[in-house]
Structure 1
Amino acid sequence: MMSLPDCVCPVDGTRVRAGSLDWCCPLCRGPLDLDFHPTPTDLKSLTGRVNSLWRYAGSLPLASPAVSLGEGRTPLVALTDTVSAKLDFLMPTLSFKDRGAVLLAELARRLGPERVIADSSGNAGTAIAAYCARAGLDCTVYVPAATSAKKLEQIRAHGARVEAVAGDREATAAAARTAADAPGTFYASHVYNPYFLHGTKTYVLELWEDLGGRLPEVLVVPAGNGTLLLGAALALRELHSAGLIDRLPALYGVQAAAVAPLAAAWSAGAADLLPAPAEARPTHAEGIAIPRPPRARQILAAVRAFGGGFLTVPEPAIAAAQRDLAARGLYVEPTGVACWAAVRKEGFGGRSVVVPLCGAGAKTGMAG
């Protein structure tokens, strides 16, 4: 079994030793990164490997998982002559969050905590509940009280307890972080735990393989807590450093216009969230309705480094994009269609674009 890497605080450099249940920097209480810098495997060496995201085990901080459900390797289909969609809603728990959840559950299984807790607006909690069930781990998921009933049903079906928190996504995260400080607790946070980001980077590794060792000119991804965006940035850096791509795509983040703190900071030229962002309004895209993402500084820096930007979509555009995809045979939840709504609006001048369809419509129903 490979040894685990240490965690490092990206703000002050504080090191957290491998195997610790500490979930944040002990000094600044911020999210951690992994001191892990792999070299991806070339295309030829991938031939014949397992048909899941674990075919990229050499790029992951864990190997030989006991909890895999066959996650990854989702289809890439054309939407137009220049835009393709990666169908990440065709995962075992019907969302892209399985990419990171499997690493968190595998890590927790190896560390052997008394309990696992998570917080989520639905999809991450569902994924963590499923993989904890697979690993035989005790799991509690903190959710906003307004979370979709269908998502709550799925979390409970996997045997996890649900703690409904009055208030918004921020209040839910605060409650979970308080619980995470209890001894013997593994906080399976898709935001704070960097293993999750190394799981989501397989999204780009799959695209690179599917496209024969290249990438589209533009990657457009949702940006709430930014876990897919930051995972994508990890993969882009690793592929480029290894000489496996010679051109980096532009990286764009998409937010609902109703809750767009990252887009507001970007428009202001700020390196971090604005002190007083616009008040959040209701949105059907609940999965990206994050008023103060803890990794905001890293998200903004990644978009800047890869020559992208932020796009916002209003509620009518989200509903229209969901209907459009359904008419094409793809039933996707409102959060999952936000990138398609943005690309329909932006166009990108004929450049090649890939968007992720992140969650199944069966989880929430139609917007509007």
Structure 2
Amino acid sequence: MTHATPGYVCSEDGTRADVRTAPWGCPVCAGPWDLDFTPDPAAPLDPSAGPNSLWRYGSVLPLPGAFSVSMAEGRTPLVPLAERIHAKLDFLMPTLSFKDRGAVMLAELARRLAPQRVVADSSGNAGTSVAAYCARAGLPCEVFVPEGVSEKKTEQMRAHGAAVRVIAGGREAAARAARTEADAPGVFYASHVFNPYFLHGTKTYVYEVWEELGGRLPEVLVLPVGNGTLLLGAALAVAELTRRGVRPPALIAVQSQAVAPLAEAFAAGAQEADPVPQLPTLAEGIAIPAPPRARQILAAVRASGGTFLTVPDTHLREAQRDLARRGFFVEPTAAACWAAVGPWSPTNPLRGRTAVLPLCGAGAKSGLAP
């Protein structure tokens, strides 16, 4: 570990901590960490000179020096989906979801810290990503999951060598169990929510869109939001590229109608989101009743001039089948953005603007929605 590795900072109270000795969350407010890191906008940014992975953006990533953990993640195709709408096929990542973007950063950080073991909590995709990248890095891994997670996803975690702990209760119960373990000495908490290095991995999604569009961004980025790790990573990249003179897009955030604390808070003009009941929905990957980074997500969408949309399960079913007929078999959660802006939308949220949306997870992970 070098002194150049950026440290943690709490956006709520300004508490700072060294990555090597920090607890998993802010010791004052127990909230998630941000990173004390802003890339120099004058520094060269030439991804074509880098490796064939997201490490090609190393000059804007917070892990200095040589990296060793990679499975050539990133560089996923950007393909036309409809008039003025492109889809980015992140379900073609090594573990079949966009979570690989953040997991590779956590695994590389953990490799440098050399913990005795790594723990994570997940409703599925993040756990499989962390398990795979820990396997790649040679790190022992445990993943805490709530009851009812797809057996295909837990099977994938075990195949990568992770110990899977099924916790009675919902998503938050699994997170509490993991955090309890994370308090033990020698444990690295590979949290896709609390550890900001994950967000600096997901921001490469937008850097790739910028590269694929020839140095520009679309007018709108449509993004699914549960814990908001892709949206907040996107917001980081947009801010960094804006400082380089790139025109910023509006962020349209999509939630399941059944579990939509952020959309409700946005509509009410609130800065924070109140918890909502954990109701069943096909979009299990974004069904987060109390997102820890709610304040940051709401602020990012408002600052961009964007909005929130919600989708019912009926539209998710239709969108998943429609995407399959177009050649893209994705899981229901990954169909949420198309469900929000596609033919089922009662309004016209894009209003003719150019847009990019992600197809985040492969249908092989969960099958076709009943």
What interval of TM-score do these two structures reach, taking the shorter chain for normalisation?
over 0.9
Check whether the contact 2:97–2:360 (CA below 8 A) recurs between aligned residues: yes
Instruction: Give distance in 2, aligned partners of 1:179 and 1:281.
Output: 27
The sequence identity of aligned pairs, in percent, is: 66
Q: How far does the alpha carbon of each residue in 1:312-361 deviate from its partner, in whole angstroms, 9 at most, with x for none?
A: 00000000000000001100001111011001115312110110000000
For residue 162 of structure 1, give the secondary structure of its aligned residue in structure 2.
strand
Q: What is the CA–CA distance in structure 2 between the aligned matches of 1:51 and 1:111, rounded to whole Å?
A: 25
Change (3 A) 1:237 1:29: same
Unmatched 5+ stretches in structure 1: none
User: 1:20 Cα shift?
Assistant: 2.0
Structure 2 partner of 1:149:
151
Give the counterpart letter for 2:199 in structure 1: L
2:312 corresponds to which residue? 314
Amino acid aligned to 2:289: P
Structure 1 counterpart SS, 2:120 = strand
Kept in 2, the 8 Å contact 1:252–1:310? The answer is yes
Q: Which residue is 1:253 aligned to?
A: 253
The worse-fitting range, judged by mean Cα deviation, of 339-348 and 262-271 is: 339-348
1:151-194 Cα offsets, whole Å, 9 max, x none, are 01000000000000111101111111111101111000000000
Q: Secondary structure at the residue paired with 2:82?
A: coil
Counterpart in the other structure of 1:271? 271
Q: RMSD of aligned C-alpha atoms? A: 1.4
Contact 1:96 1:358 in 2 (8 A): yes
Partner of 1:62: 63
Distance 2:77 2:50 in 1: 17
Q: Aligned partners of 1:77 and 1:42: how far apart in 2?
A: 30
Alpha-carbon shift at residue 366 of structure 1 (Å): 0.9
2:298 is paired with a residue whose SS is helix
- Superposition TM-score, scaled by structure 1 size: 0.96
Instruction: Give the 3 Å change call, closer, same or farther, for CA 321–43 of structure 1 in structure 2.
Output: farther
Which residue of structure 2 aligns with residue 295 of structure 1?
Answer: 293
Aligned to 1:53: 54
CA contact (8 A) 1:130 1:158 kept: yes
Q: Structure 1: which 4+ aligned runs deviate by more than 2 Å?
A: 39-49, 277-280
* Structure 1 counterpart of 2:137, from 125, 135, 138: 135
Counterpart-to-counterpart distance in 2, 1:139 and 1:331: 29
The one-letter code sitting in structure 2 at the alignment partner of 1:263 is A
2:328 maps to what in 1? 330
Q: 1:113-128 residue pairs with structure 2 within 5 A?
A: 113-128=115-130
The 2-side partners of 1:229 and 1:118 are apart by 20
Q: CA deviation at 1:49?
A: 2.3
Matched, 1:91 2:93: yes
The counterpart of 2:340, out of the listed 342, 352, 359, is 342
C-alpha displacement of 1:41: 7.9
Q: Which residue of 2 aligns with 1:108?
A: 110
Structure 1 residue 242: Cα displacement: 2.4
Once the two structures are superposed, what CA deviation does each residue of 1:94-133 show, in whole Å capped at 9, x if it has no partner? 0000000000000001001111000000000000000000
Distance 1:41 1:141, change over 3 A: farther
Matched, 1:4 2:17: no
Aligned partners of 1:80, 1:314: CA distance in 2, in Å?
21
